[in-house]
C-alpha cells in the first residue's frame, strides 16, 4: 500500500471512530458547535466543528473536533480528540480547560504527510453558546491557535 492510500485509509478509519464515539454517548446534554480562528506556525485561518458529549466523569466531557486550516501555502486538516473539564461557574460564563491528542494531515507542495500532536486548551463559554478558545500545540500540531465559535446544546 502506498503512502497516499495509507493516509486515506487511516483518515477514513479515524473519521469512522470519531463518528461512532461521538454518537455512542447518551444524547443528554450534548452540544454541537462551529468555530473559526487563526493559528501560528503554520500561519493560517482555520474553521471547523465539534461535538461535546454529556459529562463522562464529574465535569469532564469528550470534545472531538475537526479543524481545516488554509494559508501559508499549505492546507492542514486536524482531527483533535480532546477532553474538556468545565469548572463550576456562578454566572453566565463557564471556564474550561483540557487536552488531547491530534492527527494532523498536512498538504504542502503536492505532498500529504500525516503527523501526531498534542493540544492543551483553555476557553470560556457563555450559557447561550458563544465561546472563545486558546490552544497550544506540540509535535506536529500548530503551535498556537485562537478561535471563537458558537455551540448549541440539547438535552
Q: What is the pLDDT of residue 9?
A: 53
Q: What is the pLDDT of residue 90?
A: 86
Grid-cell match 483518515, residue found: 11
- Rounded Cα distance between 100 and 141, Å, is 11
Cell of 51: 461535538
Q: CA 152: distance to chain centroid?
A: 16
Pick one of 3.40.50.920, 2.40.160.20, 3.40.50.720, 2.30.30.230 as the CATH number of 3-154: 2.40.160.20
Q: What is the pLDDT of residue 4?
A: 56
Spans of all domains in the chain: 3-154
Within 8 A by CB and 6+ apart from 114, the residues are 7, 10, 103, 104, 105, 106
Do residues 77 and 93 lie in contact, with contact meaning Cβ atoms separated by under 8 Å?
no
Within 8 A by CB and 6+ apart from 33, the residues are 49, 50, 51, 52, 129, 131, 149, 150, 151, 152
Could you list the pLDDT tens digit for every one of the 155 residues in the chain? 455 555 555 555 555 455 445 444 444 579 999 999 999 999 999 999 999 999 999 999 999 999 999 999 999 999 999 999 999 988 999 999 999 999 999 999 999 999 999 999 999 999 999 999 999 999 999 999 999 999 998 87
DSSP letters spanning 99-116: EEEEEEEEEETTEEEEEE
Q: CA 86: distance to chain centroid?
A: 16
Checking DSSP bridges between strand 111-126 and strand 130-139, what pairing results, if any? antiparallel
SS3 call for 55? coil
SS3 call for 62? strand
Amino acid at each position: 500500500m502506498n503512502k497516499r492510500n495509507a493516509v486515506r485509509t487511516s483518515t477514513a478509519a479515524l473519521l469512522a471512530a470519531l463518528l461512532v464515539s461521538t454518537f455512542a454517548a447518551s444524547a443528554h446534554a450534548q452540544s454541537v458547535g462551529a468555530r473559526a480562528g487563526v493559528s501560528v506556525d503554520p500561519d493560517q485561518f482555520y474553521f471547523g466543528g465539534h461535538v461535546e458529549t454529556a459529562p463522562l466523569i464529574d465535569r469532564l466531557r469528550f470534545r472531538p473536533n475537526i479543524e481545516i486550516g488554509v494559508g501559508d501555502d499549505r492546507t492542514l486538516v486536524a482531527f483533535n480528540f480532546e477532553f474538556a473539564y468545565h469548572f463550576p461557574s456562578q454566572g453566565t460564563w463557564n471556564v474550561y480547560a483540557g487536552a488531547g491528542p491530534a492527527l494532523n494531515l498536512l498538504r504542502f507542495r503536492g505532498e500529504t504527510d500525516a503527523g501526531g500532536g498534542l493540544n492543551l486548551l483553555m476557553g470560556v463559554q457563555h450559557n447561550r453558546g458563544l465561546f472563545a478558545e486558546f490552544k497550544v500545540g506540540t509535535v506536529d500540531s500548530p503551535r498556537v491557535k485562537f478561535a471563537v465559535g458558537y455551540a448549541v446544546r440539547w438535552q
